[in-house]
Amino acid sequence: MPQPSRDIIPADWPTWSTREPQVIRSLPGGLTNRSYLLAAGGERLVLRLNAHDSATLDINRSAEAQALTCASHAGLCAPLVHCDPQHRYLVTEFIDGDACQPDQPEHLELLARLTADIHALPEIRGRLDYRHKAETYWRAVDSSAEFYSELVGVRDRVDDHLAAAARLCDSLRLCHNDLVAGNLLLNQRKALCAIDWEYAAMGDPFFDIALIVEEHRLDERQQNRFLERYLARPVTGLDRERVCHGRVVYRYLSLLWYAIRLAQHPGLHVADEAVLNDALSALTRLL
């Protein structure tokens, strides 16, 4: 049953709802924020309370708001209801959707189309510089941690990939930068939508593609099919090279992200350390 919670509902709720919202339940997923399903009259909404360590994780909430506005107008995300001007929380409509399964050819094509549509959105002010992002993450990693020497051991090996990805990038596009399975939903019209845009920024479109290849474990045949649908032309050796470098860059940034989680949330040490080890193995596999 819905129940009011003044500890959860922002005090300025009348700015975005004509009826006082009630919390139905917390929503699973999300490693940095807390999300809740709300009832407001006949509407169902999602309230996301932003993490306090957004600055440590180098999250640009202003860029997210710009990207969400563009994506909402284009029908590529959960419709935006309200972005708190102080970036404390976000409200969107609730999508009662199904999971995307890229191992199914029709879902893979939908994902390629969604990615291309995202990359065709208008330019926003936030930019993702991958080397700068890595340097920012490094400053937040605990240098006394047991795994620190292992991180240092892969840093130099990644440098050439960072340089090559930057050299081969011929244009910046609006990228989601987190198109993992948990952030993709098929709505009731069977259109694919992306949620959780907090890492959105102008960047290399092949970083988004590389992330999809890694997170959805696309084999070579699936990669070619995805690229052909996304590019709307035959795949070239240069395309594959850009994906290759992008996969390394993504795994490197992901590894550093989990290292920061360990430094900032020691109470989650056991779970996050296992994920960190998996992230290190995934990166080493590509080097």
Asked if residue 161 belongs to a domain, the reply is yes
Do 89 and 133 lie in one domain? The reply is no
Q: Are residues 35 and 104 in the same domain?
A: no
| Number of domains into which the chain is organized | 2
Q: How much is the pLDDT for 19? A: 92
Residue 237, burial from CB neighbour count under 10 angstroms (0-12, 13-18, 19+): exposed
Chunk the chain into consecutive blocks of 10 residues (it has 287) and report each block's average pLDDT, rounded to whole numbers. 70 94 87 88 93 75 94 96 93 92 94 98 96 94 89 95 97 97 90 95 98 97 97 98 98 94 65 82 96
Give the pLDDT score at 262.
Answer: 79
- Give the domain CATH number at 61: 3.30.200.20
Q: Is residue 3 part of a domain?
A: no
What pLDDT is recorded for position 280? Answer: 94
What long-range pairs does 31-40 form, CB within 8 A, spacing at least 24? 31/261, 32/57, 32/59, 32/198, 33/198, 36/8, 37/94, 38/9, 38/91, 39/2
Neighbours of 139 (CB within 10 A): 10
The model carries a pTM of 0.92
Q: Which residue range(s) make up the domain with 127?
A: 98-286
CA–CA distances in Å: residue 264 to residues 21, 52, 56, 155, 240: 32, 11, 9, 21, 36
Domain boundary among 93, 119, 137: 93
What pLDDT score was predicted for residue 59? 84
User: Which residues, in sequence order, are bridge partners of residue 202?
Assistant: 127, 174
Same domain for 271 and 132? yes
Q: What are phi and psi of 23, to 5 degrees?
A: -80, 125
Same domain? For 176 and 229 the reply is yes
Structure confidence at residue 69 (pLDDT) = 96
Length of the chain, please? 287
Whether 145 and 267 map to the same domain: the answer is yes
Element (H, E) at 5: none
Are residue 86 and residue 106 in the same domain, yes or no? Answer: no
